[in-house]
Structure 1
Amino acid sequence: MKYKNGLLGHKDIGTYPYPLRRRLVLYILLPMLSFYFLYTLNLLLSSANHRQPCTTSTANHLSFTDDSNPNTKFTQTGLQHIVFGIAASTRLWDKRKEYIKVWWQPNRMRGFVWLDKPIGEFNSTVPLGLPMLRVSSDTSRFLYKHRQGHRSAIRLSRIVAETHRLSLPNVRWYVMGDEDTVFVPDNLVRTLAKFDHRQMYYIGSNSESHLQNIYFSYNMAFGGGGFAISRPLAEALASMQDGCLNRYPVLYGSDDRIHACMAELGVPLTRHPGFHQYDVYGDLLGLLLAHPVAPLISLHHLNVVRPIFPNSSTQAVALKKLFAGPVRLDSASVMQQSICYDNVNQLTVSLSWGFAVQVVRGIMSPREMEMPIRTFLNWYRRADYTAYTFNSRPVARNPCQKPYVYYMSEARFDAAKRTTVTRYDLNNTDRPACQWKMFDPAEMLDHIIVYKKPDPGLWDRSPRRNCCRILATPGGDQSSMHIDVGVCREGEFSQI
């Protein structure tokens, strides 16, 4: 290419003799090519140095590299990386500690129960089956101006920060819950392992009551249902929370105070449907039969609802039954719904694995069956279907459409077939007369047997309900129904 004054300000190269032109080309092009080569090499080396190395574990979770030591790789998050902070009061401790005993695993977990004052158990060794007991620090210096609340909310809101200040080693997550909150530990781990614990995370869920969320916030994790805070966020919270608390003396509870500080830190709530506040009264049956397609992480307010198994003397006894069987055998699948149909007898079957099976005469679509039946009342004790934060359906008025409920009575592992076997027995209750001339489960079907292979990697895949298949009963026995549950096969779905 020619320029007005020749190449690079010199005369036109074409006017020079050929040998001279060749030397000029070499003198000019070689430095340019060298510069391009070195520039490209530098970009490649820079990209390699800044790339974050990571490895994928057998459970499809990422193992992150410690920023302070790039040669050290993080292992997969486990229970040993979680510290629990449990809010408790001495007045309710004797009754509520039974809930903690249901799920606490002394040899696998770390955590503390934070009380308002010392109790007799402080003078003995660590109580068997319980976390360590501690007394919260004095909060009299903080302001509290809510007329209907109690200033203990300030003490409870500082539990995460006080737990963090204990400087325990190798902590990735701080999990907060109440004394009557029951966690499914392995499902909690499965959920937290999907997040980068080096980042600021505030993970939990809202209330089931629309008004509760309006009065407090849809952006707040309700503390009774439990929530998780990553270590970096706990550090930030501990450094600023005391000043933050004095800026919000008019708030009601502990969880809205934490949320106020989170708002100042600019960290939003990461919602997860497995945390359950259960701001309801009555019977959780409808909610547990149609659990979201997500791992069951926590249950709260169990002291104000009926025992989840109707023949249990207390709620704690019912929960021990759930944990001793289904949770132990296949925690990932507990309460997960599957829907299938008995076309011969025109029955709709909805299974909540490890808990109960409902059988409905007639064919109901999966869209209807995945909506909870309103067997419960709102937190403000109104039978108002608009008061919930989710879709629900009414209890059937037609006596012929009232579901038959079979509750889990036995859970075991068949080593020969490498599968779990759960049995569900009919809950015999008084039923109004039905004039339909069709198969009556109350007269014909005594129990249901469910076969399911354990699936610890269930939540490593994309969310989807398991499929269920009604099997032929041995010997044609109509007193029992046999069901196989598992991952849906190619082309399989809940066909009406």
Structure 2
Amino acid sequence: MSSSIAAINLSSIQQKLQHVSHGTLCKSIAISGLVLFFFYTFLYNNPYNHSSDLFMSFVEHKSPATSVDITNSPTNISHIMFVLVGCIRTWKYRRPYTEAWWRENVTRGNIWLDLPPTEDLLPWPSMSPPFQVNEDITKLKVYPKLVNPVEVRIYRSILDTFRLGDNKDVRWYVMADDDTLFFVDNLVEVLGKYDHTKYHYIGTNSESIKSNYDFSFEMGYGGAGYALSYALVEELVTKMDGCIERYPHLWVSDYLSSSCSADLGVDLTIEKGIHQIDLRGDISGLLSSHPKSPLLTLHHFDAVEPIFPAKDRFESINHLMKPAKFDQSRVLQQTICYHRQSNWTFSISWGYSAHVYESIFPRSILRRPLETFASWKRGRPPLFMFNTRWPSIDPCVAPHVFFLETVDRSSEEGDLVVSIYTRSSTRNMPACSLNGNHSADTISRIQVSSPAIGRKEAGRIECCDVEYETGKEVASVKLRTCMKGEILA
């Protein structure tokens, strides 16, 4: 009844407005607006009218035009928005790192630059991510107080990306440098474990204790790459510049990102497959004993030696991506098995290397990386965030080392992927006398067969069997599912 009276009064007012002169139109509009205000106030306070509940529900739950798709469909590559950051000075040298994994017309995102591309970078190649130029941060009122404006530009690339408006169905924003190598199939699988409609900040620490101490143990390193759920980004972008004003003294974008997320109550979730590579020199020892987590990223290639002998850095990256095209789920996954007749241990880092030890070593030992690398910064031990093994000149401890040569699909013995690993150099040591003097010097190649269909289950190791005849040049290793209760020792 009350609603009807209000409707009649509103109709009467509208009829009177039709007869006002042009000179009083603005005043009439103001009066009409005031009446409408009282009308909706009346409806909202009417205990018998439920339309107000529907209206408020619409206001509270209406998503913006760029909202995330919150369906229960599995996460796929189209749900990931890559926010890659570089600059004109470095992009010309680092472009091959990104192009090694970027999938034209498949992966989404941009490479953000500090300035428009120079003539030597044009025409822009289609195999590179589309470029964008960051907003001029000198317009920020806090700019004169910023300790490191470049790092603020890097962090605000998230905001710049969001403002482009191409956010349809985006579930994750993934931030990284222009020299970061991604394994996108593994990334899709790992991010699919998390609810993108909740606040999530996923990344990793540095391998260097000192780096974490200098900055933060709660920080996801941006070079290694970190992922922010859409729900978190949607909240961050409305408060980002305010957060920058709160922390003008922070030196690096990664720490700024961590601080802004922390102030929203969100802490870092660590995924072990993300790698900052704050190391120097030969990192083959680390890559040959990768955690059982899927490999997601590798970073800092310019700071380490090429990861394959006799290849430069770019050739090495492209060589590693060859097995990744067959099966990313197994790349760098360590598999250990034994040739009991010779007392040998085989350690396979699929798609990268193979080690043969002339002794029986349990997995609990071999999962520790050989310390072939040096620390990122000088300091006193401990230097690394993980345990290592010291290289040895003991023939019972030092491995014979082989690196990936080829990988291909084979149907001769079923549908398999066959990878071949060749000896990198002679070991120049006698045989291990403690285990029967069974020298592995005669082996020049190791052939590894793995299933061609289906991904390896994340978080689980595989076992293997070795076939080898004494004196032969080739040893064959077949990967398989571990039997229940099988002990690798």
TM range (shorter): 0.7 to 0.9
- 3-state SS of 2:210 partner: helix
Structure 1 contact 293–465 (Cα < 8 Å) conserved: yes
CA 1:266–1:72: 2 relative to 1, 3 Å: closer
Relative distance call for 1:362 and 1:144 in structure 2 (3 A) is farther
State the partner residue of 1:420. Answer: 417
Partner of 1:377: 374
Deviation at 1:362, TM superposition (A): 1.4
Q: 8 Å contact 2:431–2:439 — kept in the other structure?
A: no
The answer to whether the Cα contact below 8 Å between 1:281 and 1:381 also exists between their aligned partners in 2 is no
Partner letter of residue 85 of structure 2?
Answer: A
**For residue 425 of structure 1, what is the amino acid of its counterpart?**
T
Moved more, 93-102 or 71-80: 71-80
Match of residue 324 from structure 2: 327
Query: 2-side partners of 1:315 and 1:75: how far apart?
Result: 39
Instruction: Name the SS of the counterpart of 1:84 in structure 2.
Output: strand
> Residue 347 of structure 2 aligns to which amino acid in structure 1?
S
Per-residue deviation, 1:413: 0.6
For 2:120 and 2:163, locate their aligned partners in 1 and report how far apart those are by CA, in whole Å. 21
Pairing 1:357–2:354 present: yes
Q: Distance in 1 between matches of 2:251 and 2:453?
A: 42
SS of 2:233's partner is helix
Structure 1, 482-491 or 348-357: larger mean CA deviation: 482-491
What corresponds to 1:276 in structure 2? Answer: 275
Higher alpha-carbon deviation: 421-430 or 81-90: 421-430
Larger displacement relative to structure 2 (199-208 or 360-369)? 360-369
Cα deviation digits, residues 233-255 of structure 1 (max 9, x gap): 11111100101111112111111
Question: Structure 1 pair 285/385, CA: closer, same or farther in 2 (3 Å)?
Answer: farther
Q: Does residue 407 of structure 1 match 2:406?
A: no
Q: Which of 114, 117, 120 is residue 119 of structure 1 equivalent to?
A: 117
Alignment partner for residue 339 of structure 2, among 337, 342, 348?
Answer: 342
Aligned-partner Cα distance in 1 for 2:197–2:242 = 25
Partner in structure 1 of residue 390 of structure 2: 394
1:383-427 Cα deviation digits (max 9, x unpaired):
x55111111111114255321111010100113410110100001
> What CA deviation, in whole Å up to 9, does each residue of 1:294-331 have, x standing for no partner?
0000000111111111121x21211111112x101111
**3-state SS in 2 of match to 1:117:** coil
User: Which amino acid counterpart does residue 420 of structure 1 have in structure 2?
Assistant: V
2:102 is matched by which residue type in structure 1? Answer: W
Q: Which residue of the partner structure matches residue 80 of structure 1? A: 78
Q: What is the one-letter code of the residue matched to 1:80?
A: S
Gap change, CA 1:123 and 1:388, over 3 Å in 2: closer
Aligned position for 1:152:
150
With over 3 angstroms needed to count, the CA separation of the structure-2 counterparts of 1:122 and 1:338, relative to structure 1, is same
SS across alignment from 2:403: strand
Q: SS state of the match for residue 237, structure 2?
A: helix
Q: Which residue of 2 aligns with 1:217?
A: 216
Aligned to 1:230: 229
- What's the offset of the Cα at 1:486? 2.1
Q: 2:131 aligns with which of 133, 149, 156?
A: 133
How far apart are residue 264 of structure 1 and its match?
A: 0.9
Distance across 2 between alignment mates of 1:485 and 1:123: 45
Secondary structure of the corresponding residue to residue 382 of structure 2: helix
Shift of 1:448: 0.4
- Note the C-alpha offset of 1:488: 0.9
1:111-148 Cα deviation digits (max 9, x unpaired): 1000111113698554121100111111123347687x
Q: Which amino acid aligns with 2:110?
A: F
**What is the alpha-carbon distance in structure 1 between the residues aligned to residue 353 and residue 386 of structure 2?**
21
Distance 1:67 1:124 in 2: 36
Q: 1:146 to 1:397 in 2, by over 3 A?
A: farther
Aligned residue number for residue 368 of structure 1: 365
SS in 1 for 2:364: helix
Secondary structure in 1 aligned to 2:88?
A: coil
Percent sequence identity over aligned pairs: 34
Q: For 1:153-192, what aligned pairs fall within 5 Å after superposition?
A: 153-168=151-166, 169-192=168-191
Question: Number of residue pairs matched?
Answer: 419
Pick from 466, 476, 483 the counterpart of residue 470 of structure 1. Answer: 466
Question: Quick check: 368-377 or 484-493, which moved more?
Answer: 484-493
Deviation string, structure 1 residues 69-98 (Cα, Å, up to 9, x no partner) = 9x9944211111111011101111111011
Q: Which amino acid aligns with 2:101?
A: W
Note the alpha carbon deviations across 1:38-63, whole angstroms, 9 max, x for none. Answer: xxxxxxxxxxxxxxxxxxxxxxxxxx
Distance in 2 (CA, whole Å) between partners of 1:350 and 1:385 is 27
Partner-residue secondary structure (3-state), 2:99: helix
Gaps in structure 2 of 5+ consecutive residues: 1-62
Hey, what's the Cα distance between the residues in 1 that align with 2:126 and 2:472? 47
Cα contact 2:92–2:121 (8 A) shared by 1: no
3-state SS of the aligned residue for 1:386?
A: coil
Q: Residues 435 and 273 from structure 1, CA distance in 2 versus in 1: closer, same or farther, beyond 3 angstroms?
A: closer
SS at match of 1:92: helix
Aligned to 1:89: 87
Provide structure 1 residue ranges, at least 5 long, that are not aligned to the other structure.
1-65
Q: Is the 8 A contact 1:102 1:323 kept in 2?
A: yes
1:276-295 equivalences in 2 (<5 Å): 276-295=275-294
Distance 1:435 1:171, change over 3 A: closer
Structure 2 counterpart of 1:188, which letter? Answer: L
Question: Do the aligned partners of 1:332 and 1:455 also contact (CA within 8 Å) in 2?
Answer: no
Normalising by the residue count of structure 1, what TM-score does the alignment of the two structures yield?
Answer: 0.80
Contact 2:114 2:134 in 1 (8 A): yes
Q: 1:121·1:127 contact (CA, 8 Å) conserved in 2?
A: no
Q: CA deviation at 1:159?
A: 1.2
Contact 2:421 2:447 survives alignment (8 Å) = yes
Q: Distance in 1 between matches of 2:359 and 2:328?
A: 32
Letter of the 1:315 partner, please give it: R
Partners of 1:367 and 1:139 lie apart in 2 by 50
CA distance in 2, matches of 1:210, 1:79: 33
- Deviation by residue 1:196-220 (Cα, 9 ceiling, x = unmatched): 1111111111100111111111111
- 1:480 equivalenced with 2:458 (yes/no): no
- In structure 2, C-alpha distance between the alignment counterparts of 1:456 and 1:179, rounded to whole Å: 31
**Alignment partners' CA distance in 2, 1:456 and 1:381:** 44
Give the secondary structure class of the aligned counterpart of 2:308.
coil
Seen in structure 2, the aligned counterparts of structure 1 residues 455 and 259 have a Cα distance that, compared at 3 Å, is: farther
